[in-house]
C-alpha cells in the first residue's frame, strides 16, 4: 500500500507522523506523493480554530483523489479527531478511521486491517491512564528524514486546564513515560548517529508528577539524557513557567550540550489576565525565571507564546503585555488572537474583546516583536558559532552549494560551501549578516 501523511500543528504532531510512517513502512507500506497514494492520513491540531478549519478544507481537497478508486480511503488523527470523533464519518464517507492521541499506538494495525478489505469504520478515541508505549521501528529509532536530529516524546497530555486551552480535552490528562523507556530510546538514537535530541511534552517540567511517575524528576531525566555518548545538542519543549524547577534552570549553566534556548510561554504580561487564564503564576514569578536563566546562561535565547484579546483584556492589560515583551526581549514569539475553543472555561467568560480591537493589538504586538527580533539578530553579526546542517537551502548559487542549518540556540543560518554531503555535520561559521528571521554565515577554520 502507498500512503501519504499530511501534518498540522506542533512538534509532537510532527513526531507522531514520523512514527506512524515508520510503523507502516515496517509493515511493507510505501510512503508516496499525494497523486500516487491509496491511503491518506491527516494528523490534526485544534489548539486554535484556524488549524481545525484547515482539516475540513484538506479533506474536501483530497476528495478528488479518493474518487479515483472506491478502495481508497482516509484516516484522521490527532486533536481534531479526538474532538470531533465519529462526526467525521457522517461528513466524509471516505474517512474510515479516526484515532485520538492515545489511539495512535493502535493506528498502524487498524490501517492495515482496513487496507486488507475490512468493511468497517474504526474509532480509536479512548483515553488510557498510563502512557501508551508504541512499537519501535525495526532499528529502534525515529529520526527526522535525512538529518541527525530526532524528537523523543517523554509524556503526553496536561493537567493544568488553562482557561483557554483545549489540550487536556484532546490529549487527555498528563501521562509520563517510564524514564528507562525514554533513556533506551535516546541511547538507540545516539547509536544510530543522531547528534541532536529534542524532548517533547505538553509540559515537560511536570514530568513524573503524575500517577505514572516513578519519582524521577524532569531535571534528573535531563541530566541522564545529556550524559549519553554522542548527544551533542539537547533541547526540550514545552515548559510551563509554574513548574520549572531551580534544578532545570541550573542545568543550563552546567550541561555543555544543553542548548542555550528555551521556549517559555508567557501568554500575557498582565497579572489580571494571567489570573483569568488560570496560568497559576504572575509576572514577578515569570521575570524571576528569566533573570535566573540569564544569570546562569547569559547567551540564552528566549522565545514565547502570546495571546491578545483574551476575554476582559483592557487597553491597560495589553500595554502591560507590550512592556513585558520589551522587558524580556524575546528573540521571537508566536502570537495569536484569542479564539473560543469548545469545552474550555473561557468560552463563557465576558466581556469578549471586539475582533477589530484584537486585530489592532495583534498587529502592534507583532510590529514590536519584529523590531526586537531584528535588533537581537543584528547583535550576532561578527560572532563565530557552529551550525548543525539540516540540508541544502532552496536558493542555490552557481559557484557553491548553499546550505541551511541551526546554531546552538536554534536560529536558522544559511551559508555556502564548495563541499557536498554536509547534512548532519556540525560546522564552524562566522555570522556575516542578519536577515529578518535568519542569519547568513561564512566559513571559518579549515576549508570545507
Tell me if domain 149-378 and domain 384-443 are identical in fold: no
> Helices 355-378 and 315-328, interaxial angle, to 10°?
10
d(CA 122, CA 111): 9
Q: What pLDDT score does 143 carry?
A: 55
Confidence band, pLDDT 50/70/90 cuts, at residue 295: very high
The residue ranges of every structural domain in the chain are 2-124, 149-378, 384-443
pLDDT digits (tens, 9 = 90+) for 139-179: 545 555 567 999 999 999 999 999 999 999 988 999 999 99
- Please say whether the structural domain 149-378 has been given the CATH code 3.80.30.20: yes
Is the per-residue pLDDT at 285 higher than 80? Answer: yes
Select, from the ranges 19-23, 83-87, 114-118, 362-366, the one with the highest average predicted confidence (pLDDT): 362-366
Cell numbers at 437, concatenated: 528571521
Contact 317, 358 (CB under 8 A): no
2-124 CATH choice from 3.40.50.12160, 3.40.1410.10, 3.40.630.30, 1.10.10.10 = 3.40.50.12160
Q: What pLDDT score does 134 carry?
A: 85
Q: What pLDDT score does 363 carry?
A: 98
The contacts of residue 6 (CB under 8 Å, 6+ apart) are 40, 41, 42, 43, 58
Q: What pLDDT score does 447 carry?
A: 58
Output the average pLDDT for the chain: 92
Q: Closest Cα to residue 111, out of 7, 41, 170? A: 41
The contacts of residue 128 (CB under 8 Å, 6+ apart) are 102, 172, 175
Contact 84, 62 (CB under 8 A): no
Q: What pLDDT score does 380 carry?
A: 98
Select, from the ranges 41-50, 53-62, 187-196, the one with the highest average predicted confidence (pLDDT): 187-196
For CA atoms 406, 363, 170, 39, give the dihedral sign. Answer: negative
Q: Closest Cα to residue 170, out of 160, 162, 158, 180? A: 158
> Which residues pair with residue 416 across a beta bridge?
402
Cell numbers at 347, concatenated: 468560552
Q: What pLDDT score does 137 carry?
A: 54
pLDDT digits (tens, 9 = 90+) for 299-345: 999 999 999 999 999 999 999 999 999 999 999 999 999 999 989 99
Contact 166, 341 (CB under 8 A): yes
**Mean per-residue pLDDT, 250-274:** 98
Q: Which CATH architecture has domain 384-443?
A: Beta Barrel (2.40)
pLDDT digits (tens, 9 = 90+) for 362-418: 999 999 999 999 999 999 999 999 999 999 987 766 667 899 999 999 999 999 988
Amino acid at each position: 500500500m502507498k500512503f501519504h501523511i499530511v501534518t498540522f500543528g506542533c512538534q509532537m504532531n510532527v513526531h507522531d507522523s514520523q512514527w506512524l510512517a515508520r510503523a507502516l513502512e515496517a509493515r511493507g507500506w510505501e510512503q508516496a506523493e499525494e497523486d500516487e497514494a491509496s491511503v491518506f492520513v491527516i494528523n490534526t491540531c485544534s489548539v486554535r480554530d484556524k488549524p481545525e478549519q484547515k482539516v475540513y478544507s484538506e479533506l474536501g481537497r483530497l476528495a478528488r483523489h479518493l474518487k479515483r478508486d472506491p478502495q481508497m480511503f482516509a484516516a484522521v488523527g490527532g486533536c481534531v479527531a479526538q474532538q470531533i470523533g465519529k462526526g467525521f464519518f457522517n461528513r466524509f464517507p471516505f474517512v474510515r478511521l479516526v484515532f485520538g492521541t492515545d489511539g495512535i499506538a493502535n493506528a498502524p494495525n487498524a490501517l492495515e486491517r482496513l487496507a486488507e478489505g475490512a468493511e468497517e469504520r474504526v474509532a480509536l478515541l479512548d483515553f488510557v491512564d498510563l502512557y501508551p508505549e508504541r512499537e519501535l521501528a525495526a532499528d529502534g529509532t525515529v529520526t527526522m528524514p535525512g538529518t541527525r536530529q530526532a524528537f523523543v516524546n517523554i509524556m503526553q497530555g496536561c493537567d493544568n486546564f488553562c482557561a483557554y486551552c483545549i489540550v487536556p480535552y484532546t490529549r487527555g490528562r498528563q501521562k509520563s513515560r517510564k524514564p528507562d523507556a525514554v533513556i533506551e530510546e535516546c541511547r538507540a538514537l545516539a547509536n544510530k548517529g543522531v547528534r541532536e535530541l529534542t524532548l517533547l511534552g505538553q509540559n515537560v517540567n511536570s514530568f513524573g508528577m503524575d500517577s505514572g511517575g516513578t519519582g524521577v524528576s524532569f531535571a534528573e531525566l535531563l541530566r541522564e539524557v545529556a550524559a549519553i555518548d554522542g548527544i551533542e545538542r539537547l533541547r526540550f519543549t514545552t515548559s510551563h513557567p509554574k513548574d520549572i524547577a531551580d534544578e532545570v534552570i541550573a542545568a543550563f549553566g552546567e550541561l555543555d550540550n544543553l542548548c542555550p534556548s528555551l521556549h517559555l510561554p508567557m501568554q500575557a504580561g498582565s497579572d489580571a489576565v494571567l489570573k483569568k487564564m488560570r496560568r497559576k503564576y504572575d509576572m514577578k514569578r515569570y521575570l524571576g525565571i528569566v533573570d535566573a536563566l540569564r544569570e546562569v546562561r547569559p547567551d540564552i535565547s528566549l522565545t514565547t507564546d502570546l495571546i491578545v484579546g483574551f476575554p476582559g483584556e483592557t487597553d491597560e492589560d495589553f500595554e502591560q503585555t507590550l512592556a513585558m515583551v520589551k522587558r524580556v526581549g524575546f528573540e521571537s514569539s508566536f502570537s495569536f488572537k484569542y479564539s473560543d475553543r469548545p469545552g474550555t472555561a473561557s468560552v463563557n467568560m465576558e466581556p469578549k474583546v471586539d475582533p477589530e480591537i484584537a486585530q489592532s493589538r495583534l498587529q502592534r504586538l507583532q510590529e514590536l516583536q519584529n523590531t526586537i527580533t531584528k535588533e537581537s539578530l543584528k547583535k550576532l553579526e561578527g560572532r563565530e558559532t557552529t551550525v548543525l546542517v539540516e540540508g541544502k537551502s532552496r536558493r542555490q548559487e552557481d559557484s557553491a552549494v548553499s546550505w541551511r542549518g541551526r546554531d546552538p540556540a536554534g536560529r536558522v543560518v544559511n551559508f555556502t560551501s564548495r563541499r557536498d554531503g554536509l547534512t548532519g555535520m556540525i560546522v564552524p561559521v562566522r555570522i556575516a549578516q542578519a536577515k529578518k528571521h535568519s542569519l547568513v554565515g561564512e566559513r571559518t577554520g579549515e576549508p570545507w
